[in-house]
Amino acid sequence: MVNCQHAGLKAWVDEMAALCQPDGVIWVDGSEAEKKVLENRAVARGFLIPLDQERYPGCFYSRSNPNDVARTEHLTYICAQSPEDAGPTNNWMSPEDGYAKAATIFQGSMKGRNMYVVAFSMGPVGSPFSKIGVELTDSVYVVLNMRIMTRVGRKVLDRLGTDGEFTKCLHSKADLDVKHRLVLHFPQDNTIWSVGSAYGGNALLGKKCLALRIASWQARKENWLAEHMLILGVEHPGGQVEYVTAAFPSACGKTNLAMLIPPEGLKAKGYRIWTVGDDIAWLRVGADGRLWACNPEAGFFGVAPGTNSKTNPNAMAAMRKNTIFTNVLLGDDLSVWWEDGDGAPPALGTSWEAKVWKPGMKDENGKPVLAAHPNSRFTAPAGQCPTISPNWENPEGVPISAMIFGGRRERLAPLVFESFDWNHGVYVGATVASERTAAAMGAVGEVRRDPMAMIPFCGYNMGDYFGHWLDMGAKIPRPPKIFHVNWFRKDESGKFLWPGYGENLRVLEWILARSRGEGRARKTPIGWLPAKDALDLTGLDLPAGTMDKLLEVKNDEWTRELDGVKAFFLQFGSRMPQEMWRQFESLKERLKTAVAA
Ligand code: OXD
Ligand code: MN
């Protein structure tokens, strides 16, 4: 029995139970015994299927409603007092309308089901970085995923004490009808209401909803940063470890980069990578004047297709046990499989769409029938990753030497460049654009502006967000340097120019050298690029001329890019800091001078 001492929490649970009318209310204690009970219940109701326990100990299969496979950004709202506080890149609804509209869906939505009370900590329990939330949910799948992705239960309630602050997170899958789906954030009330979806990004409310949208709002007030960034440590041959953060839009390889395996040439020199986090970083100024980062999550909610023993052996090892697989292929032998995964597919299975699936199946247009949804996922405990950093749960976080932004661009952006200073780095982050992936509903491939990879996740006006980044620069006595990378540049025939994956360490190495004031660079209008031969390419055999193409800056293309940047910036009107326009004008001038020369 969980004994809650927090009167405010108890009153809120009673109020929400009166609205949603569950059959019972169950307080989650986080114990192993409870986990077994929940798993058995989910299996009995058909929400989870145990995999072959010899091959996949502690692992389960789950299949979602086919209309519920990704974040639904068009149904995601910031319910701030005024539309200006949400800004032009967010959907806005007034708090009154938000509560009223969602309440009609929540009304009686948990009848026939239990309401679980999941107290969770984002960040190690008790760390100065951490924030507590309580999610009420009628989904056992959500509870089991939250147990992997966050720290839950009695220890968190103890920490909350009798009157601690927490984010009120209400979730019901209701009837899983997209017409009854809303993901609402009430930053002024520290509240999240999500209904009609069980997809991770919509329903595991600690992740995108709390750790990014609500946290970004809080971070601005409290002088810290909540960012869509991986955190990794690079161990140098001498044993010294330096940490970087990197922000990329969803499904652009953050998990792979966070778990990178050094290529042979660099491994032989003694390089090693340590994973701290693969999706979210909370950053605060430390007593030493540096920026320190903490991963608020406790697990990985990674994209399965494309993950295999070549692209990410560490992720494959992390998901070997105690993992929930969602919307991949379920083999008849109780195995899992996905496109571009490991090994041959099972001879017979059931696809993510719950249809019989055999290797080589084609649809009526002759196209391969997908076994797994392109956004199918694995939820795995972070501690199971072979490269997990000894500091991943350090309550003080890790000190950051460099911050990296990047997008998926076939053209324009070179492999890597360094900004001139913090403010220019903020401009570089603010002008990131990327081709859309399957992590959200919408046309895959379309280029969209995704500043700091935060466009779907910033919980307030992004003009103010850029202002906050600029202000933070003045508050960090020893700020990290800011870089931009692009692993996805292609040649004229559409082939990727850079091999990516482990080879990306070569770029990280240059980035860290520059951060230490070393590393050779040449100045261009967009920033500092590696000088010729400044990247360590030991053991990498690229065709002649490839590095030149990868490091090419076409001033006319960059000048054309300014039109898109300008249109994007103009949306923010007077909320756009003047400094961002000053950066824009300086870049325009530098490009003009370069073209004239
Ligand atoms: C994620 C996402 O799941 O960004 O991390 O969509
Ligand atoms: Mn993400």
Q: Which domains does the chain have, with CATH numbers?
A: 7-47+71-222 (3.40.449.10), 227-298+390-596 (3.90.228.20), 300-384 (2.170.8.10)
The two structure tokens encoding residue 560 = 């054309």
Report the distance separating Cα 376 and Cα 330, nearest Å.
Answer: 12
Closest CA to 96 of 15, 171, 189: 189
Distance 266 CA to ligand 2 centre (A): 29
Whether 454 contacts 565, CB under 8 Å: no
Q: What is the pLDDT along the chain (597 residues), one digit of tens a residue?
A: 788 899 999 999 999 999 999 999 999 999 999 999 999 999 999 999 999 999 999 999 999 999 999 999 999 999 999 999 999 999 999 999 999 999 999 999 999 999 999 999 999 999 999 999 999 999 999 999 999 999 999 999 999 999 999 999 999 999 999 999 999 999 999 999 999 999 999 999 999 999 999 999 999 999 999 999 999 999 999 999 999 999 998 878 899 999 999 998 899 999 999 999 999 999 999 999 999 999 999 999 999 999 999 999 999 999 999 999 999 999 999 999 999 999 999 999 999 999 999 999 999 999 999 999 999 999 999 999 999 999 999 999 999 999 999 999 998 999 999 999 999 999 999 999 987 766 666 666 677 899 999 999 999 999 999 999 999 999 999 999 999 999 999 998 989 999 999 999 999 999 999 999 999 999 999 999 999 899 999 889 999 999 999 999 999 999 999 999 999 999 999 999 999 999 999 999 999 988 766
Ligand 1 neighbour 418 (Cβ under 6 A):
no
What is the per-residue pLDDT for 594?
Answer: 81
Report the distance separating Cα 250 and Cα 437, nearest Å.
Answer: 7
Ligand that comes closest to the CA of residue 301? 1
Distance 251 CA to ligand 1 centre (A): 7
The two structure tokens encoding residue 62 = 């789950």
Ligand 1 neighbour 138 (Cβ under 6 A):
no
For tokens 């927090």, name the residue.
Answer: 6
What backbone torsions phi and psi does residue 225 show, to the nearest 5 degrees? -130, 135
Burial (CB count <10 Å: 0-12, 13-18, 19+), residue 474: exposed
- State how beta strands 349-350 and 49-50 pair: unpaired
Contacts for 198 with CB less than 8 Å, ≥ 6 apart = 64, 65, 68, 139, 141, 142, 173, 176
Question: Which residue, judged by its Cα, is nearest atom 3 of ligand 1?
Answer: 201
- Angle 140-149/32-44 helices, nearest 10 degrees? 140
Grouping H, G, I as helix, E, B as strand and the rest as coil, residue 63 is: coil
Tell me which of 71, 145, 455 to substitute to probe ligand 1's pocket, judged by most ligand atoms within 8 Å of the beta carbon. 71
In ligand 1, the atom with minimum distance to the C-alpha of 200 is: 3
Q: Is the pTM of this model over 0.75?
A: yes
Burial (CB count <10 Å: 0-12, 13-18, 19+), residue 292: buried
Question: Which residue, judged by its Cα, is nearest atom 1 of ligand 1?
Answer: 250
DSSP 8-class letter at 213: I
Tell me which of 76, 145, 149, 208 to substitute to probe ligand 1's pocket, judged by most ligand atoms within 8 Å of the beta carbon. 208
Catalytic residue of the set 20, 252, 385, 458: 252
Question: Residue 252 catalytic?
Answer: yes
Question: Which residue, judged by its Cα, is nearest atom 4 of ligand 1?
Answer: 250
Distance 493 CA to ligand 2 centre (A): 30
Report the distance separating Cα 389 and Cα 276, nearest Å.
Answer: 6
Question: Which residue, judged by its Cα, is nearest atom 2 of ligand 1?
Answer: 250
What is the per-residue pLDDT for 446?
Answer: 74
Ligand that comes closest to the CA of residue 230? 2
Ligand 1 neighbour 439 (Cβ under 6 A):
yes
Distance 295 CA to ligand 2 centre (A): 13
DSSP 8-class letter at 34: H
DSSP-assigned beta bridge partners for residue 151: 121
**Secondary structure (H, E, C), 505-543:** HHHHHHHHHHHCCCCCEEEECCEEEECCCCCCCCCCCCC
Closest CA to 359 of 404, 322, 329: 329
Whether 183 contacts 198, CB under 8 Å: no
Burial (CB count <10 Å: 0-12, 13-18, 19+), residue 368: exposed
